[in-house]
Structure 1
Amino acid sequence: MSKTKKHEFRPNDFVVYPAHGVGKIVNVEEQEVAGMNLELFVISFEKDKMTLRVPTHKATEVGMRSLSSPDVVAHAMKTLRGKAKVKKAMWSRRAQEYEQKINSGDLIAIAEVVRDLHRADDQREQSYSERQLYEAALERLTREIAAVAGNDEGAAAQEIDSVLVGRAAA
């Protein structure tokens, strides 16, 4: 493998790692692992105080991707405005599906979870597990929308909240 290999990702790029959401590539380093030299992306997830090392040749295979385009963000916001689609399946089955959508790293799928689990003030209470899934999805959505727009997360959270509240009022 040549050292001059061109990567899709570079230091200082924001990327989405499916299981963890938005992180920033802080470095590309070489490390010897099991007697082999590996080139690794070093990704920092500041909010979670976590650093992840991903072999550069495995990055796309594990689902790492660039931030969504503004078009995808617009589509995610449109998805939020839609009517919640809650299947009649048992909660455990639905919870599993929501978890898979959150960990898919797909912004539209994450927006669907936020839309489906959002509760207006006048609606019934959420169970603990519903709340956990909702907050995880909302956090992923907020972080990526903020990173794409170059805004802080507070501004992105307000934008999402106004869409959700507006939908409830409609």
Structure 2
Amino acid sequence: MEVDDLFQVGDSIVYPMHGAGIIKAIEEKEVSGKKQQYYVIKMLISNMQIMIPAGKILSSSVRPVTDILALKHIAHIFQHGESDRLLPWKQRYKVNTDKIKTGKMQEGAEVVRDLMRMKKEKVLNTSEKKMLDNAHEFLISELRLMKGITENQIKSFC
């Protein structure tokens, strides 16, 4: 089985619920008597290395790091978008979890924006504090891998 040209060694990617990483290798491994090619990815946040079977890379929602051109739109949403503060916390938690699971930078930025705004108004519960910390780490890890981004642009998301 040959790996698609979708991702190459050295590509920066985002793995939903794990953050950004770099493809370090594409290796063939035998697991349960079956040989498969795997993407070996070094994750920025946890300093962890993960392996994803090449045949499951698309269904895992792994995507390339967002382009610097999209950052202006995402920064606008982050700073000026509307938050839905009227949802009960359990419903809000589910909506935010679903957004993070998409792995899309825009959705993650919305979660960070909304929870940061709420944190300024009141104390977040433990679950939402953890969610904010994780979503923020995912966002910053992707920003750090963007080509052409400045440290000041990264700080605007803090």
TM-score (norm 1): 0.82
2:157 to 152, 156, 160: 160
Structure 1 CA distance, aligned partners of 2:119 and 2:92? 22
Per-residue deviation, residues 52-111 of structure 1 (Å, max 9, x unmatched): 111112111210111111232222111111244124232111111111211211001011
Moved more, 101-110 or 74-83: 74-83
Distance 1:54 1:135, change over 3 A: same
CA distance in 2 between counterparts of 1:57 and 1:150 reads: 31
Per the alignment, residue 166 of structure 1 pairs with: none
| Matched position secondary structure for 1:118 | helix
1:85 maps to a residue whose letter is: S
Bigger Cα displacement from structure 2, 19-28 vs 143-152: 143-152
Percent of paired sites with the same residue: 27
**Larger Rg: 1 or 2?**
1
* Distance in 2 (alpha carbons) for counterparts of 1:73 and 1:25: 22
**Residue of structure 2 equivalent to 1:133:** 131
- What is the rounded CA distance, in whole Å, between the counterparts of 2:53 and 2:116 in structure 1? 37
The count of residues paired between Structure 1 and Structure 2 equals 158
**Higher RCO (CA 8 Å, separation ≥ 6 residues):** 2
What code does the residue aligned with 2:24 have? V
| Conserved? CA contact 2:13–2:21, under 8 Å | yes
How much has 1:49 moved relative to structure 2? 2.6
> Moved runs in structure 1, 4+ residues, more than 4 A?
154-157
Give the counterpart letter for 1:110 in structure 2: G
- Counterparts of 2:153 and 2:147 in 1: how far apart (Å)? 8
Opposite residue 10 of structure 1, the aligned amino acid is Q
Question: Which residue does 1:147 correspond to in 2?
Answer: 145
Aligned ranges for residues 1-170 of structure 1 at < 5 Å? 1=1, 3=2, 5-119=3-117, 123-149=121-147, 155=152, 157-161=154-158
Change (3 A) 1:83 1:6: closer
Give how far 1:120 is off.
7.9
What is the RMSD of the two structures over their aligned residues, measured on CA atoms?
2.2
Give 1:58's aligned amino acid. Answer: K
Equivalent pair of 1:119/1:126 in contact (CA under 8 Å) = no
The one-letter code sitting in structure 2 at the alignment partner of 1:11 is: V
| CA 38–124 in structure 1, closer or farther in 2 if over 3 Å, else same | same
Aligned equivalents of 1:103 and 1:45: distance in 2? 17
The answer to whether the Cα contact below 8 Å between 2:45 and 2:141 also exists between their aligned partners in 1 is: no
